[in-house]
């Protein structure tokens, strides 16, 4: 997710806010590789893609929302189940709406991210939170921790959960 040229560190520190997962707002935090804490709530790996801020661009809210809407129309046309999520800095200083998508493989997810001008997409599985570069750069496997969103964490990204 994010803009081209961003360092891998930016992605490896990103948290994922997931509204309405298992009836609760959930927060996925990256952890050290191999560390998994929480129950993976899906049958198969899922991917997170966004259409926000392609390349080095920093688009306005309206343009990002319109791009994200077009991405979701594309996902619907492909028959892919998806839900709205927000990925970004844990302190809320940067956040981008995205789609958590069921039914993609890694190559298709990377190609979709690249088509929308992204450096990377995320894959979440039972064993890893992975940053998948949309070019030929190596992926980065991390662990993860899934927790309920606490009262002070809601709305930090500017959205409602």
Residue 124 in domain: yes
Give the domain range for residue 44.
Answer: 8-150
Residue 2 in domain: no
End-to-end CA distance of the chain: 20
Instruction: Kindly give, in sequence order, each residue whose CB lies less than 8 Å from that of residue 103, ignoring residues fewer than 6 positions away.
Output: 79, 80, 81
Q: Specify the range with the lowest mean pLDDT, choosing from 5-9, 37-41, 69-73.
A: 5-9
Residue 156 in domain: no
Please count the structural domains in the chain: 1
- Percent of the chain scoring above 90 in pLDDT: 71
| Number of Cβ within a 10 Å radius of residue 31 | 14
pLDDT digits (tens, 9 = 90+) for 68-121: 999 999 999 999 999 999 999 888 888 899 999 999 999 999 999 999 999 999
Q: pLDDT band at residue 38, thresholds of 50, 70 and 90? A: very high
Q: Among 120, 156, 145, 157, which Cα is nearest to 135's?
A: 120
Residue 159 in domain: no
Distance in angstroms (rounded) separating the CA atoms of residues 129 and 3: 20
Residue 157 in domain: no
Give me the torsion for CA of 81, 45, 107, 83, rounded to 10°.
Answer: 30
Q: Is 36 helix (H, G, I), strand (E, B) or coil?
A: strand
Q: pLDDT band at residue 156, thresholds of 50, 70 and 90? A: very low
Residue 3 in domain: no
Single pTM value for the model = 0.88
């Amino acid at each position: 997710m994010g803009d081209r040229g961003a360092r891998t560190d930016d992605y490896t520190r990103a948290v994922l806010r997931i509204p309405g997962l298992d009836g609760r707002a959930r927060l996925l935090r990256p952890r050290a590789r191999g560390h998994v804490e929480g129950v993976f709530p899906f049958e198969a790996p899922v991917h997170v893609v966004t259409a926000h801020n392609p390349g080095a661009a920093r688009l306005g809210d309206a343009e990002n929302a319109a791009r994200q809407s077009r991405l979701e129309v594309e996902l619907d046309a492909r028959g892919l189940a998806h839900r709205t999520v927000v990925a970004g800095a844990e302190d809320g200083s940067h956040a981008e709406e995205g789609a958590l998508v069921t039914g993609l493989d890694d190559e298709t997810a990377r190609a979709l991210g690249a088509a929308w001008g992204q450096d990377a997409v995320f894959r979440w599985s039972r064993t890893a939170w992975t940053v998948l570069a949309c070019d030929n750069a190596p992926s980065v496997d991390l662990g993860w921790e899934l927790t309920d969103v606490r009262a002070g964490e809601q709305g930090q990204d500017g959205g409602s959960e």
